[in-house]
Amino acid sequence: MTLLSRVLGLVRDMVFARLFGASFVMDAFFVAFKIPNIFRRWSAEGAFSQAFVPVFADYDHHRSPEEVRALVDRVTGTLGAALLVFTALGVLAAPVLIFVFAPGFTGESADADRFALAVDMLRWTFPYLFFISLAAVAGGILNTYHRFGVPAFSPVLLNLVMIVFAAFLAPYYERPGLALAMGVFAAGVVQLGFMLPFLRRIRMLPRPRWGFSHPGVRQILRLMGPAVFGSSVAQISILLDSLIASFLVTGSISWLYYADRLMEFPLGIFGIALATVILPNLSRQHARASRGEFAATLEWAMRLVILISAPASVGLVVLAEPMLGTIFYGGQFAAGDVEMAGLGLMAYGGGLVALTLVKVLAPGYFARQDTRTPVRVGLIALGFNMAFNIIVVVPWAMGGYPAPHAGLALSTSLAGFLNAGLLWRGLRRDGVLPPADGLPRFLMRVAVACGVMAMLLVTVSPPLPRWLEADLPTRCLWLAGIVGMAILAYFSSLYAVGVRLHELRMKTPGPTV
């Protein structure tokens, strides 16, 4: 389901690129879409989910069904009321939010109307926060009961709705960009509505009640405190990136968006999806005090992530321009856009392994209801990210050097390595993740296989001008063939250096005392 969602996400972005390119309309839309998504990190898959899923799993393991349903009712009622008020304030304060997140839109330039357009767009996109946050509550409940397919399918509906609005409704609007924003609003409604029948099927359809004094709600709020702060740290980094990008040449925000979308493809399929699956399992293992199973689950997730994300990282770096040229080139998306977005993708792709590891290491803390340690780690990574942007990227842009937007992507990747390393060290220090037998040897074998694959890609990939001269079917065939050869070379090399399938199976430990 996650793979289907990501494929449709690429189709959606192909529609955006072909119809609108890297224009001021898309710059304005991406800012207006980013703002509710940033706040969603608190109320949906971010701080709230990190606090809600472990508490809900604990209630489900130790409490009666009536107490579990009461928790669901109180949580949805309390969160829903707070979100309703916050959403209304966000719509009213749209000009202020755009000014904060993209102050460069207010400058005197040929496309200064980006600011007015972004404000109008945000008033349509901001209510998405309300619907998608409640949908995240539903998803957390379903995931706890191992109904992973329904929440994973929900983003498919988001992409379908936005494709319909962009391709079939936008041409009839005087300001077609507004149709994109309306599509975001409609997608939020559809996603939430899709979840409700499945909650009813497991007898967990909420009857929202105000419950600020409910002990379960209070426990979630206590856990959310550090998580909200940690999420705020991450959002400050995003805010700084957006602020700097808004002062760069028109198209910079769009180039970063299209690069990030390709990087998010493997990150979502292997990192976020795996983290979604292991968090409720880790929470249950912690509730049962099964330390051996807990450690085995984390170690298995790490090995699987490294096995998949390492070659994906190599592919994103080496094939950045061919992939962007195949998927987005044409219409309003020109060859120059492919080159600029390609630089951003190379910088993002280099950090894919680290960014994916963060997704599976963090649940090792959240499942134990430790939301403070990831905050401390996030502060350190944020400090590095901000320092790199200020010391390197700002002078890069002010000096007139080309492609400063790639520096923003590089900063994100480097901070990801720091974040992942500190999270891993903390788990080792806590005794949650004991030394893994054979892990250094496994890493070395993966590195060798990635090296073989990289040499193949460099050898067989045509130069970008030749790539763009070919028609779309030819480019698709070339890319499919090259990727197919790379996959074969990678797994053949793994086998040749001694990696076997049974090494990737989760080891089930005996009972722990």
Cα dihedral 211, 217, 222, 223 sign: negative
Q: Kindly provide the b/e burial profile for residues 394-423, where b requires at least 16 CB atoms within 10 angstroms of the residue's own CB.
A: eebbeeeeebbbbbbbbbbbbbbbbbbbbb
- Confirm whether 154 is domain-assigned: yes
- Confirm whether 188 is domain-assigned: yes
- Confirm whether 327 is domain-assigned: no
Which tens digit of pLDDT belongs to each residue from 126-157? 999 999 889 988 988 888 788 888 888 998 99
69 residue type, one letter: R
Phi/psi at 431 (5° precision):
80, 5
User: What is the per-residue pLDDT for 184?
Assistant: 95
- Nearest Cα neighbor of 50 from 286, 264, 275 is 275
- Confirm whether 177 is domain-assigned: yes
- The pTM of this model reads 0.71
Total tally of structural domains belonging to the chain: 1
- Confirm whether 466 is domain-assigned: no
- Confirm whether 106 is domain-assigned: yes
**Coil/strand/helix, residue 330:** strand
Q: Are 356 and 271 in contact (CB under 8 A)?
A: yes
- Confirm whether 513 is domain-assigned: no
The residue range of the domain holding 137 is 1-223
- Which residue is listed with tokens 């890319």? 479
∠ Cα 12 14 15 (to 5°): 65
Q: Collect all residues with Cβ–Cβ distance below 8 Å to 205 and sequence separation of at least 6.
A: 196, 199
Q: Are 142 and 148 in contact (CB under 8 A)?
A: yes
pLDDT in tens, the chain (513 residues): 878 888 888 899 889 888 888 778 888 898 899 888 877 766 555 567 667 778 888 888 888 888 888 989 998 999 889 889 999 999 999 999 998 888 877 765 545 577 889 999 999 999 999 998 899 889 888 887 888 888 889 989 999 999 999 999 988 888 888 999 999 999 999 999 999 999 999 888 899 999 888 888 888 888 776 666 655 555 566 566 667 777 787 788 888 888 888 888 887 777 777 877 787 788 788 878 788 888 888 888 888 889 999 999 999 999 999 999 998 888 888 888 999 999 999 999 999 999 889 888 888 888 887 878 887 888 888 888 888 888 888 788 787 778 888 888 888 889 889 999 999 999 988 888 877 677 888 899 999 999 999 999 999 988 889 999 999 899 999 999 999 999 999 999 999 998 877 666 666 554 443
d(CA 48, CA 234) in angstroms, rounded, equals 15
Q: What torsion, rounded to 10 degrees, do the Cα atoms 176, 180, 182, 184 define?
A: 180
User: What is the per-residue pLDDT for 436?
Assistant: 66
User: What is the per-residue pLDDT for 110?
Assistant: 41
d(CA 478, CA 484) in angstroms, rounded, equals 10
Q: Collect all residues with Cβ–Cβ distance below 8 Å to 439 and sequence separation of at least 6.
A: 303
User: What is the per-residue pLDDT for 511?
Assistant: 41
- Confirm whether 49 is domain-assigned: yes
